[in-house]
Amino acid sequence: MSTAGSGGRIQLPRPGDPSHVGPYRIVGRLGSGGMGTVYAGLSPDGLRVAVKVIHPAQAEDAEFRARFRREVQLSARVQGPCLLPLLAADPEADAPWLATSYAPGFTLDQHLAVHGPLTGGTLYAFATGTARALAAIHEAGVIHRDVKPQNVILTPAGPRVLDFGIAHAADGTNVTRTGIMTGTPGWISPEHYRTGTAGPEGDMFAWGALVAYAATGRFPFGIGAPDVIAFRVMSGVPDLDDVPGELREVVAKALAKAPSDRVTAVSAAEKCSLLLASQATQVLGEGTGSESIQIDELMANRWEIPIPDDPIWCAPQPFFRKRIAAIVLMAVVVLGATVGGVFIASGGDTETGKSVKASVASPGDATRRADPVKPDEGIGNQPADPRAAGVPADPLAGIQNPAYTRSDDLVQPHPDEWRKSIAPGSQEEENAGEVIQENMRSMLATKGMEFMDPTITFNRRAQTVMVTGGPISTLPDEYREVFRRSGEMAACTVLARRLKSDPTTWPYGRYHIYWKDFEEQTEATILGYGQAIEGCFNETAGQWNGSESGMATAGEPSSDKDEVRVADATVKAITAAWNTRVAEGRGLDPFDREDAVSLGFDPVEKAAYIWAWDGYGELAGRAQRSHFRDVVAKVTCKKLIAEYDNNKEWGYVRWSVAVYQGNSGVPEIIGSGNCA
């Protein structure tokens, strides 16, 4: 989990996030992962820092705490160019943490995905800077052991090598579990694969792969299953085509199979700096200062990286939100590395961001019950307002001989069904696939997740539509969950309408949702499945109900300007209405904080989720909750309906309210409904 770098996207805090860590004021999130959460922090004098806080479950693990303590010790030992200094840490705290300087910019893999390979002086500056960083690490008697694209930030001032989460001392002392392979496939040395040996030579092997990747945009040992990559690393020849000739010699030496044949970090830095000087058509002179200063100036002059959208951090009133371990600061992965604004409304100030217009939902009846998908234009006559197109809960009711015959088949998905699915083979299939894709994209866009573009295939024999995402191997679980929900909703609604319109000819009624971690994967991960004849919404007797999964999706930041505006106005109105009711003397207590109420939108079921942070039991009793539920329903529906009537792209007309009690990180839903 990287501790710096955001690409300009800082998420707002979520319910339960700290307001301070050590001396630092927390103003947002930079990312999250298996180890913990990385927060954006401000020091008392306004310095921007990245603060890594370990998850409570990890902190309770004595072995893990020892590893973190070791990480702090090693980070404190390492100082040098192209590194981020450790500023402070408390490995003994209930929630252990460490803070480093903040580095704005994208990780290497994120940059390559947007801008393509590094070239010219920038490439040589990258090779020089990362080699110098490793030289400083090795000089301090430390081995990094996780050199990879996600751990290098391309800042406006040059590359920065991050993260000592699995580093250990060159003297062999470490606290890594015995028998556990550390590192990331494709960035692990041959000797580490064979014997588990980790040394400076292993870091240099990963450095060679890193520079080759930066120069070509291709992984030098290809992609595929981890064991396939391991075989190529140990026995294959790296792909160094397109690496410039003289630099290729240094990279090839770093990628030698035998550790003793590899170039050292110091030697690599020297060779690359000379190549950099050659690129700049100048030679390092004498008598102009230290060599280090000359190299720094040379790198700065030749470093050409687009300046990221990195807004000024401020210290607003705390915001409170929810959501799942995201993203480690990774490409797509390290959640926080994509550009664009984010928002979850709470009682504090608002942050607006990039507008991403989403397709809107469609009300299923006269009471404005919105379905979060566009109607299938190939189905019958649609009403003038596309939001008025309903989704049949039982599309085959009364049909004697439907083309879809698996309605009573409860067999779970089989990998062969996915492997044997193919691209659309008819115009009807192509139309349905396009609508599913369009609706998924519109849902995902409101959360800044457009990069998870789905592929739609069909298996006629299985009467199943397959929705597949990827290949992205490091996607956080919360993103996969949003992909699953949007895929299920889009497929379910499109298939239900098709079955209703053409019951005797349309054979597809089942849908499976999959995720691929790599391109050659022959058995994708099944995320979800269902049938379009069982209803597409979470309803009981026609009454819509909120869910924890819907709230989790609502807790993801929104990048839609209309959602931002409505959420902010609604939260302020709910807070004012609650304070008014408290003042009426009904035995109610005010919240203990001004920003106790937050709101987020779930684009899948087109619902607004409102949650209150109840620190001191203001909503502990049934009467208090009844009052709050009443306030939320009246205020929220008024806002949603007003927007619905004035904005033809607005489809949110459902609401759900939840309470976070005390220090609980689990919300309790206390009411849901449709706005009439």
CA distance 120 to 33: 34
Question: Which pLDDT does position 560 carry in this prediction?
Answer: 86
What average pLDDT does range 172-193 have in this prediction?
A: 59
**Cβ-based neighbours of 199, under 8 Å, separated by 6 or more:** 143, 170, 259
CATH T-level topology, domain 1-105: Phosphorylase Kinase; domain 1 (3.30.200)
- Other CB atoms within a 10 A radius of the CB of residue 589 amount to 12
**Cβ-based neighbours of 493, under 8 Å, separated by 6 or more:** 371, 372, 373, 391, 439, 532, 536
Most confident of 44-53, 328-337, 402-411, 429-438: 429-438
- Other CB atoms within a 10 A radius of the CB of residue 587 amount to 10
Is the sign of the CA dihedral 19, 20, 24, 30 positive or negative? negative
Contacts 24+ apart (CB under 8 A), 590-596: 590/618, 591/615, 591/618, 592/616, 592/618, 593/318, 593/347, 594/317, 594/347, 594/348, 595/317, 595/318, 595/319, 595/320, 595/346, 595/347, 595/348, 596/320, 596/347
pLDDT score of 547 more than 80: yes
pLDDT band per the 50, 70, 90 thresholds, residue 588: confident
Q: Is 172 exposed, middle or buried (0-12, 13-18, 19+ CB in 10 A)?
A: exposed
Query: pTM above the 0.95 mark?
Result: no
Contact 123, 304 (CB under 8 A): no
Question: Which pLDDT does position 271 carry in this prediction?
Answer: 95
Is the sign of the CA dihedral 210, 211, 214, 217 positive or negative? negative
CA distance 469 to 143: 36
Question: Which pLDDT does position 663 carry in this prediction?
Answer: 56
Q: Which of 504, 471, 507, 510 is nearest to 488 (CA)?
A: 510
pLDDT band per the 50, 70, 90 thresholds, residue 154: very high
Amino acid at the residue 535:
G
What average pLDDT does range 574-583 have in this prediction?
A: 93
Q: Which of 44, 36, 46, 43 is nearest to 3 (CA)?
A: 36
pLDDT band per the 50, 70, 90 thresholds, residue 589: confident
Q: Which of 18, 1, 4, 107 is nearest to 64 (CA)?
A: 1
Tokens at 424, concatenated: 């659309």
CA distance 101 to 253: 33
Q: Which residue has the higher pLDDT, 77 or 423?
A: 423
What is the average pLDDT value for the chain, to the nearest integer? 80
Question: Which pLDDT does position 511 carry in this prediction?
Answer: 96
Can you spell out the DSSP letters for 212-231? Answer: HHHHHSS-TT--S-HHHHHH
pLDDT band per the 50, 70, 90 thresholds, residue 369: very low
24-32: strand order across its sheet? 20-21, 24-32, 36-42, 48-54, 97-101, 86-90
Most confident of 220-224, 482-486, 541-545: 482-486
- Other CB atoms within a 10 A radius of the CB of residue 396 amount to 18
Q: What SS3 class is residue 657?
A: strand
CA distance 560 to 343: 8
The pairing of strands 654-661 and 607-614 is: parallel
User: Is it true that domain 107-307 has CATH number 1.10.10.10?
Assistant: no
**Helices vs strands, H then E, count in the chain:** 16, 24
Q: Which of 568, 561, 617, 566 is nearest to 595 (CA)?
A: 568
Most confident of 181-185, 270-274, 444-448: 270-274
Question: Which pLDDT does position 280 carry in this prediction?
Answer: 67
Q: Which of 363, 319, 340, 403 is nearest to 114 (CA)?
A: 340
In angstroms, what is the C-alpha Rg of the chain? 27
Is the sign of the CA dihedral 577, 581, 587, 593 positive or negative? positive
CA distance 282 to 285: 9
Say which residue the tokens 């100048």 belong to: 282
Q: Which residue has the higher pLDDT, 110 or 615?
A: 110
Most confident of 61-75, 176-190, 336-350: 61-75
Tokens at 566, concatenated: 């409505």
CA distance 465 to 458: 5
CA distance 437 to 295: 50
| CB-based burial, 303-321: b 16+ in 10 Å, e otherwise | bebeebebeebeebebbbb
pLDDT score of 73 more than 60: yes
Q: What are phi and psi of 42, to 5 degrees?
A: -120, 130
Q: What is the dihedral of CA 290, 292, 294, 299, to 10 degrees?
A: -170
Contact 517, 472 (CB under 8 A): yes
The pairing of strands 362-363 and 370-371 is: antiparallel
621-650 residue pLDDT tens: 888 899 999 999 999 999 999 999 999 999
152-155: strand order across its sheet? 106-107, 152-155, 158-161
What 8-state DSSP symbol labels residue 365?
A: S
Question: Which pLDDT does position 183 carry in this prediction?
Answer: 53
Q: Is the peptide bond before 471 cis (omega within 30 degrees of 0)?
A: yes
Amino acid at the residue 12:
L
Contact 220, 233 (CB under 8 A): no
Q: What SS3 class is residue 138?
A: helix
Residues catalogued as catalytic: 146
Say which residue the tokens 């190939």 belong to: 378
Domain definitions of the chain by residue range: 1-105, 107-307, 345-356+547-674, 392-536
Question: Which pLDDT does position 321 carry in this prediction?
Answer: 35
**Helix 120-139, helix 245-254: angle, nearest 10:** 30
Tokens at 632, concatenated: 């939320």
- What percent of the chain has a predicted confidence (pLDDT) above 70? 79
Q: Which of 520, 509, 496, 485 is nearest to 406 (CA)?
A: 509
CA distance 369 to 391: 10
Q: How far is CA 651 from the centre of its chain?
A: 25
What average pLDDT does range 123-136 have in this prediction?
A: 95
3-state secondary structure 417-455: HHHCCECCCCHHHHHHHHHHHHHHHHHHHCCCCCCCCCE
